[in-house]
Amino acid sequence: SQTIHQWPATLVQPVGSPLSLECTVEGTSNPNLYWYRQAAGRGLQLLFYSVGIGQISSEVPQNLSASRPQDRQFILSSKKLLLSDSGFYLCAWISRGYNSPLHFGNGTRLTVT
């Protein structure tokens, strides 16, 4: 069965510090991968998506970047965190089937202090 792992679950970081959030998917090959951010009252905002290794598309200009070094690994990074980067970050994947649903990880709660 397919599973998605996202870590850490919670993170408190000072302003200006770097960030690295990791997501891995098991049980599937060549998935589309996504990073979403959830802010209170603002729903789920798509940040990045990837259709393959090294292929990253950005949806929103921001202080963050993403990388896909392996087929089932997706990393969200920042060189210097801002207060506005606080939020709930969700990794998601979808397999390459017409009727495949989007599956989310359990997210990382990031607080920038």
Partner 1 sequence: QQQVKQSPQSLIVQKGGISIINCAYENTAFDYFPWYQQFPGKGPALLIAIRPDVSEKKEGRFTISFNKSAKQFSLHIMDSQPGDSATYFCAASMRSGFQKLVFGTGTRLLVSP
Provide the strand spans (E) within the chain. Answer: 3-7, 10-13, 19-26, 32-38, 44-52, 55-58, 65-70, 73-78, 87-94, 103-104, 108-112
State which of residues 25, 49, 64, 110 lies at the interface with partner 1 (CB under 8 A): 49
x/- track of binding to partner 1 for residues 59-78 (CB under 8 A): --------------------
Q: Does 56 bind partner 1 (CB under 8 A)?
A: no
- Min dist CB 92 to partner 1, Å, is 8
Question: CA 12, CA 9: separation in Å to the nearest integer?
Answer: 11
Q: Does 54 bind partner 1 (CB under 8 A)?
A: no
State which of residues 47, 107, 110, 112 lies at the interface with partner 1 (CB under 8 A): 107
State which of residues 29, 42, 61, 69 lies at the interface with partner 1 (CB under 8 A): 42
Centre a 10 Å sphere on the Cβ of residue 19 and count the other Cβ atoms it contains. 21
92: left (phi > 0), else alpha (psi -120 to 50), else beta? Answer: beta
Q: Does 43 bind partner 1 (CB under 8 A)?
A: yes
Residues lying near partner 1 in the complex (CB under 8 A) are found at 6, 32, 41-44, 46, 49, 51, 90, 92, 94, 98-107, 109
